[in-house]
Structure 1
Amino acid sequence: MSTPVVSGATRRSQAAAEDSLACKECRRRKANCDHKIPECSTCKRYKRHCLYDRLGKTPLTRRHLTEVEYRLSRAEGILKRLFSDQEVSYLLDQERSGDVPTLPPIRSISQTHTPRTASPAAGSVDSPVASQQQRSVTSQPQVKSQGSTGLDDPGSAWSFPTTDVEPDPTAALYPDGDEEFEWDEREQTGLHGGVAITEDDEEGVRKVMDGMATLTVDAANYGYLGMASGASHLRSLWMESGNGPSWDSGAWTDRRRDMQDLLRRQTESSSIASAVQTQTLVTRAMVDVFVDAFFVRYHPVFPILHEPTFRAQYASRMARPGQGIWLVLVNIVAALGAFVTNPSSSDDTSLSIFRTAKRYLAVNALETGNLTLVQAFGMSAMFLQKINKPNTGYNYGGVAIRMAIGLGLHKEFGSQHMSPFKQELRRRIWWSLCVLDVGATITYSRPLIWPQVGVDAALPSNIREQDLMANSPVTPPEVDEPTVNTYLRVQSSYHLQTMPIYNRLISNPPPLPEELLTLDSTIVEAWLSQVPHYFHDSSGPMLEDRFALPHGINCWRYRNLRIVIFRPLLVKWALQDGREETLTWHEQEATNRCLRAARESIASIQNFWKSRSQTRLTAFYVLYFIFQAALIPIHCLRCKSKSRQAPEWRDQVSATLEVVESMIGLNPSASKCRDVIMSLCGSHLRNLDDEFVDYEQAFNFEPTMDATAWMAGCAPTLINENLWAGSLDNTSAELSFSTWEGDWNI
């Protein structure tokens, strides 16, 4: 069968027809236009003003017909929810006969279905499926009456909803499904103060990738961030006018652009960069310091290594893994140690070291599988998130999990098959990946990939690390005190028990307030009762400094979950200012729990920040949790500034600003968080004389800690003061990076 030949004239006429349907901007730029209304995808992506010519005729295209069919099916679905089939048929018959349809009373959504309290029919079983379907029906938004339709009977008992029905006030919590979630976190223009900067495809706009998954209002090109992420709440909060949601499309677009401009400003830490010289040469003495710093500062938060074993291999007292893998591991340890050692976020020494490790993590590394490689990928994922490459770290973590499952780390093998040391090491690696992956997944609000069935690996024992060596015949007895395994045990248990809550939060239909309260009271409270006494909230001041951050994360994480659980209900309550709606008891209790969790988080974090060591690692976690908590009183202040609780909310925001200001030199995102807070509610922060507080003068913080002070405080713990000082001023023998790599005698 011959293919029909299309003449040149026909092709030109088709192209002209397509061009006539394009918007003015796409025609002017000769770009492809998808003709979407009210704004085409190209204009939406590049923030252009999209205008169409008035059409004389409806475009006869397949795309237009598909859109019309979709709109028709939605309209039919709405009619079926409001009227029965008989009523719809009656109205259509009247319309065909030329009569004005006499509409029956419109029933609300809740009236068209059986109430939740109705008893089941005889012989039926109240199955989970039936309960879920019933919950889906009753959780639909209720259509509000908008007054008379203007027909002959203005006093009729029914009213018809118009097209101006107010959208759901929590709609902005969800990402825009039309966004493109592709990302590129390669170092196209390098790092500025530890922040990954990329370039926009067309306009060269600076984009900052955010490891906290919070500082973005535009989902495009950042990867998918779900409705439970901090970015979703910030988007919802920013899009409001301050006195409630603004649904004007022009105002919405302007506010998105303002937010993007604010977040794309150069961070203050990069302005300090000239004062700190980035290390271009790394000496063996410096690597020694970085390794020590890793085990003092980072290891208690992520104990995926066994310190005595690694140090023995590092000192050549024990056989090392294969040469390529060993170089990867030692470089990643050094990179993480440099990250927590350098007191300024503008020092990119850690990134330089990590680049060397990455050279060995080529694609062919995926063709092998061993414990060292799992450790390397897991630690790389941790590092990449901390330098604001969240999607890249997410991918590395996924590789580590797949490889760990391939090695059987999720299974428990008896002591007759494996030595006590090997058993404990496998457990630590597996549950370290659990804390890494589940924590990151919830931060980004993505579906869990962590296996929830078929896993029987036991939690690591609460033993002192130095008590278990490679040749130990038995596992030493557990101790009743904090160890490097304590945080891993407590956090793994937390994730295992609260994963059902998170799965419910990201599922449809959304859970009802009473269900959320039940989940919190039964699951979170049950987990809290299992936390050992030496890791309770109240035990923080008595802990060693190396266990302070793991303990703090443990306290802040479950409160952050409570904030996420109850945040949609708090948003609903905050937006009801001046209206007649009243909350049910369950909604009020949920709102109170959200407010209490935010208040307790801010107070706990402020006390921790003032009393404990301040490093770039602590600054990362502190900024993430305190900013998430601060968005709650900020939301309340913007919508309920006259509330009796407003002074307390102002105090919470002020405390947050104090902490955030003091870490600008340590965390490049801190200045952006401060700017966002001031933009959102700076006008609501007043003192007793009703005058605005000038935070730049009121706080006027000096740098948190300079290099000399940090050295003096850490020298006794790390290595020795002379070696540390010598490595900083380059008085020790300088070796190129490749030279100290070759010094391992592999």
Structure 2
Amino acid sequence: MESRSSKSPNRAKRRKISVACDDCRARKVRCDGVQPVCGPCSKRTDHGAQCNYTGELEKRKANQIYISNLETRIKELEGAEGSQESRKGPTPISTPRPTLPSPTPRGTLPETPGTYRSIQSQGGINTPASQRDGVNAMMGAVEGERASQGFFGSSSAAGFMRQIRTAVDKKLAPDYRRSPAPRLPVSSTLLSTRTETAQNPVANYVLPPRRMADSLMEVYWDYVFPLYPFLISAQMKSEYAKIWAGETPESDENMLMCTLNVMFALASQLADFVPPTEREASANSFFSRAKGLFQFNLWDTGSAGLIQCLLLMAQYLQSTDSAHQCWIVTGLAIRNAQSLGLHLPETINSLQNFQEQQLARKIWHGCVLMDRVISMTFGRPAMITKASSGAVPLPAAVDEEFIPSESMSEASQPPDRPSMMAFFGKSLELYDIMNDVLESLYNQSTDVSGEDIHDFYFNNITGEGERTIFELDHCLSRWTKSIPMHLRGDSAMKSTNPIFCRQSIVLRARFLHVRILLFRPTLSRYCTIRDNMASDSLIPMHDSFPHRVALQCSIICVKAAQESIQLIYNNVPSDGTGGPLPAWWYNVLYVYTSATVLIAGRLCSAILAEVSEESITQSWNQALEILTKYQSYSTSARRCIAALEILYEQVASEGVPPTHHGPRSDEEERSATFGDMSFGEGMNTSILDSFEFPDFQDMSWLNSVPSNLY
């Protein structure tokens, strides 16, 4: 039997008309679309008096009305269902009896069993929160849910829906060339953080005595905020005053009290009026109170206040033994910032004034800074990519007092007033270089086992995005030349302004630490060089260019370690106060890292030919003296002292001791090199028992950090 198409193979297909007049459309008559009068209407007795074409704009409005009616009907069904569930309580899921939908007018939704189940799965009282949006977590959120669910990029289901909507809009309105801008994941303001969530009537809103609270706040604004300007100081000071006056704060009260307690905890670790032996307990009491007030719901989108609080928590946790919690809290801050779209320049530009934009920049780059620091400290991959960190401009080097609250134009710092914010920008630039150092030179997959001496030292075949040690050193050199005058160590202005003085010292300490990280892998390889490497070459290994360069890199690393120790040693006040130094937990990190470099340099006679034993001994004793002073602050300093003793004893016993005049015993050698200081006096032996000792012959200990000791 032949098919219908085979009987008439040349039969022309019916031409589809995309536009028809209203009369033909109503009578369901085929319209040829001819204007001003179509063919069927011209044959009528009235000669097309009724031939009208509805415009594209009217059709688009009709579609919008239809969609609006559908949404209204869905809300009515949800409301009816919610009230029914509240009266009856949870009911077991059962299959409804088949029913026929009753006739409904155009623009409404028939109440079919399938429709009921669909609505129930989206907003039912017993439905898990992760399923109430109508899509699962892998799909993201539909376009209409973006405001509550946060930012979704072009690869998400929401991004695809946005593209489809744009295409449909263009089909419905050919003359409409530009679709409306997509809704932003954050509101036009970051300052209004007050929420409608019910407050706990018995919340632990306990504050210390007013005098102590004011003193702790002063410590925070003088010592913490100039280095980590994550807040708007004027706003927080105003909210703090309202709390004591019994007035309702502008921001979320629970989050405000939580943030204040974290600020108290940070200040307690740095306050000179709190005895060192009591700082840890005092800070922990405030932080425990903050944890009790902290209300974080995984199912909700975060806020600017939440991210600020998380950043301060991560900063405080650096001073504790809670390495895992510090890592997780930093990750939460980053993910919440990304969900708000703070990593996008278009989000920043959409905010209502420059003050808001500056705040958003500070919050995002605060996440970048903490990500870089935590990644370096724990030896783990950074969360934020280089491209993402650089997409948003750095915060402007303008102090808050010169930023009008309602101005849209970018503010500027008076030329005769150096900005406190300049330090934050230079630190971010430095840590961007540090991130390149970690990615290029501390890649665990890098193969340096080859016999080629060039690859052994410098691994010239770099991966994508990786940079050579020479390029990184050039970046550091250019960075030092860009430092403003008020942040240079020899500036006269530094001595007259205590904030600038401390910022310059902290910036110098951070720079020296990054420089140590840059040259330390070469020092490690120089200490483990094999005597038979490149033996078949006409050029002896010790006369080869890469070996000579590696020696100079190792010497630079040792000298940078000495300078780092000297910088901290010279600025530790004798009265036990904090002085103009970084926070003590950073000092412990810098001194420990530098001391391990001294041990490595002490093992190489070629290094000692340029860096004398006497200077290394002096730096070593200074390092131990600094760590001894910090023993009362935390057990981490005691761990570092114990670790350094063990490292030296193991390396000295297994390594090749340097040449010296006259025979010495091992005990005499250690005493002559490292002085008569007792390492483990009064130390708990359980600390030593918790160490996991590495293979000291491969120099892997040189790349360790204090967090490995926790």
The equivalent residue for 2:412 is 477
Tell me: CA distance 1:546–1:685, structure 2 relative to 1, closer, same or farther (3 Å): farther
Question: Which position in structure 2 is the counterpart of 1:619?
Answer: 584
2:268–2:282 contact (8 Å) kept in structure 1? yes
Q: In structure 1, what is the Cα distance between the partners aligned to 2:607 and 2:353?
A: 65
> 2:596: which partner in 1?
631
**CA distance in 1: counterparts of 2:628 and 2:414, whole angstroms:** 40
Q: Write the deviation string for residues 588-643 of structure 1: whole angstroms up to 9, x where unpaired.
A: 23222222221222222222324895179632111111110111111232565994
Which of 518, 525, 528 does residue 572 from structure 1 map onto? 525
1:596 aligned to 2:559?
yes
Structure 2 residue aligned with 1:669:
636
2:507 maps to 554
- Decide whether aligned partners of structure 1 residues 690 and 409 sit closer, same or farther in structure 2, where only a CA change above 3 A counts: closer
Which residue of structure 2 lines up, in the alignment, with residue 193 of structure 1? none
SS of 2:345's partner is coil
Alignment counterpart, residue 446 of structure 2, candidates 509, 515, 519: 509
Asked if 1:694 is matched to 2:676, the reply is yes
1: CA distance, partners of 2:562 / 2:434? 22
**Does 1:412 find its partner at 2:379?**
no
Residue equivalent to 1:201: none
Task: State how far apart, in whole Å, the 1-side matches of 2:447 and 2:400 are.
Answer: 44
Deviation at 1:360, TM superposition (A): 2.9
Q: SS of 1:367's equivalent?
A: coil
- Residue 500, structure 1, aligned to residue 433, structure 2: no
Q: Is the 8 A contact 1:566 1:593 kept in 2?
A: yes
Which of 471, 477, 501 does residue 525 from structure 1 map onto? 477
Which residue number in structure 2 is paired with residue 435 of structure 1? 369
Distance change in 2, residues 1:607/1:464 (3 Å): same
1:487 matches 2:423: yes
For structure 2, the residue ranges without an aligned partner over 5 or more in a row are 1-205, 449-454, 461-467, 534-540, 653-665, 683-710
Task: Tell me how far apart the structure 2 counterparts of residues 679 and 687 of structure 1 sit (CA, whole Å).
Answer: 15
Q: Say if 2:251 is the partner of 1:321.
A: yes
For 1:170-209, list aligned pairs within 5 A.
none
Deviation at 1:691, TM superposition (A): 9.4
Instruction: Name 1:26's counterpart in structure 2.
Output: none
Bigger mean CA deviation after superposition, 333-342 or 505-514: 505-514
The corresponding residue for 1:458 is 393
Contact 1:291-1:337 within 8 A present in 2 as well = yes
Q: Deviations over 1:300-323 (max 9, x none)?
A: 121101111100111128842122
Does residue 364 in structure 1 map to residue 364 in structure 2? no
Report the residue type matching 2:258 in the other structure: V
Cα drift, residue 398 of structure 1:
0.7
Checking the alignment, whether the CA contact within 8 Å between 2:402 and 2:412 is kept in structure 1 is no
Give the conservation status (yes or no) of the 8 Å contact 1:650–1:685: no
SS state at 2:551 partner: helix
Tell me: CA distance 1:473–1:450, structure 2 relative to 1, closer, same or farther (3 Å).
closer
Whichever residue aligns with residue 507 of structure 2, its letter is: N
* AA at the equivalent of 1:585: R
Deviation at 1:362, TM superposition (A): 4.0
Partner SS, residue 410 of structure 1: coil
Matches within 5 A, 1:68-147: none
Pick from 617, 624, 634 the counterpart of residue 650 of structure 1.
617
Shift of 1:579: 8.7
Q: Distance in 2 between matches of 1:621 and 1:327?
A: 27
The amino acid that maps onto 2:438 is Y
CA contact (8 A) 2:568 2:587 kept: yes
Cα separation, partners in 2 of 1:543 and 1:632, compared to 1, 3 Å: farther
Match of 1:448 among 382, 389, 408: 382
* Higher relative contact order (CA closer than 8 Å, sequence separation 6+): 1
Paired residues of 1:303 and 1:484 also in contact (CA < 8 A): no
Do the aligned partners of residues 311 and 672 (structure 1) sit closer, same or farther apart at CA in structure 2, a change above 3 Å counting? same
Q: Does structure 2 conserve the Cα–Cα contact (< 8 Å) formed by 1:409 and 1:430? A: yes
Distance 2:324 2:497 in 1: 34
Q: Are residues 1:305 and 2:196 paired?
A: no
**Is the 1:325–1:373 Cα contact (8 Å) retained in structure 2?**
yes
Counterpart of 2:314 in structure 1 is: 381
Residue in structure 2 matched with residue 290 of structure 1 by the alignment: 216
**Uncovered stretches (5+) of structure 1, i.e. residues with no partner:** 1-279, 701-746
Q: TM-score, normalised by structure 1?
A: 0.51
Contact (CA 8 Å) 1:517, 1:590: kept in 2 or not? no
1:426 matched to 2:392? The reply is no
Contact 1:686 1:693 in 2 (8 A): no
Task: Indicate the RMSD between aligned Cα atoms, in angstroms.
Answer: 3.5
Partners of 1:346 and 1:338 lie apart in 2 by 9
Counterpart of 1:23 in structure 2 is none
Give me the whole-angstrom Cα distance separating, in 2, the residues matched to 1:573 and 1:321: 56
Three-state SS of the structure 1 residue aligned to 2:421 is helix
Match of 2:275 in 1: 343
Q: CA deviation at 1:377?
A: 0.9
C-alpha distance in structure 2 between counterparts of 1:692 and 1:393, whole Å: 35
Distance 1:323 1:365 in 2: 20
500-509 or 652-661, larger mean C-alpha shift:
500-509
Residue 495 to residue 469, structure 1, CA distance change in 2 (3 Å): same
Q: Write the distance in 2 (CA, Å) between the matches of 1:491 and 1:657.
A: 28
Measured against aligned partners, the alpha-carbon deviations of 1:478-527 in whole angstroms (never above 9, x if no partner) come to: 24555431221011112234433321123332574455431233222222
Match of 1:608 in 2: 571
Paired with 2:481 and 2:330, the residues of 1 have a C-alpha distance of: 30
- Equivalent AA in structure 2 for residue 614 of structure 1: G
Q: Read off the aligned partner of 2:412 and give its amino acid letter.
A: P
String of CA shifts for 1:93-128, please: whole Å, max 9, x gaps: xxxxxxxxxxxxxxxxxxxxxxxxxxxxxxxxxxxx
- In structure 2, relative to structure 1, the CA distance for the partners of 1:691 and 1:484 (3 Å cut) is closer
**Residues matched between the structures, number:** 420
Does structure 1 retain, via aligned residues, the 8 Å contact 2:355–2:404? yes
Distance 2:207 2:412 in 1: 45
* Offset from partner CA, 1:319-372 (integer Å, 9 cap, x none): 421222222212212221222223314431211111121123344266231100
Does structure 1 conserve the Cα–Cα contact (< 8 Å) formed by 2:266 and 2:316? Answer: yes
Q: Can you list the C-alpha shifts for 1:197-231, whole angstroms capped at 9, x where unaligned? A: xxxxxxxxxxxxxxxxxxxxxxxxxxxxxxxxxxx
Percent sequence identity is 19
2:386 is paired with a residue whose SS is: coil
Are the equivalent residues in 2 in contact too, given 1:336–1:350 (CA < 8 A)?
Answer: yes
Distance 1:356 1:559 in 2: 37
| Alignment partners' CA distance in 2, 1:656 and 1:320 | 48
CA contact (8 A) 1:397 1:437 kept: yes
Q: 1:510 to 1:685 in 2, by over 3 A?
A: farther
Pick the structure with greater CA Rg.
2
- Give the direction of change, closer, same or farther, for the CA distance of 1:597–1:291 in structure 2 (3 Å limit): same
How far apart are the structure 2 equivalents of 1:431 and 1:574?
A: 38
Residue 474 (structure 1) shift? 4.7
Identify if the C-alpha distance between structure 1 residues 419 and 433 changes in structure 2 by more than 3 Å, giving closer, same or farther: same
Deviation at residue 696 of structure 1 after TM alignment: 5.4
| SS in structure 1 at match of 2:632 | coil
* 1:34-88 Cα deviation digits (max 9, x unpaired): xxxxxxxxxxxxxxxxxxxxxxxxxxxxxxxxxxxxxxxxxxxxxxxxxxxxxxx
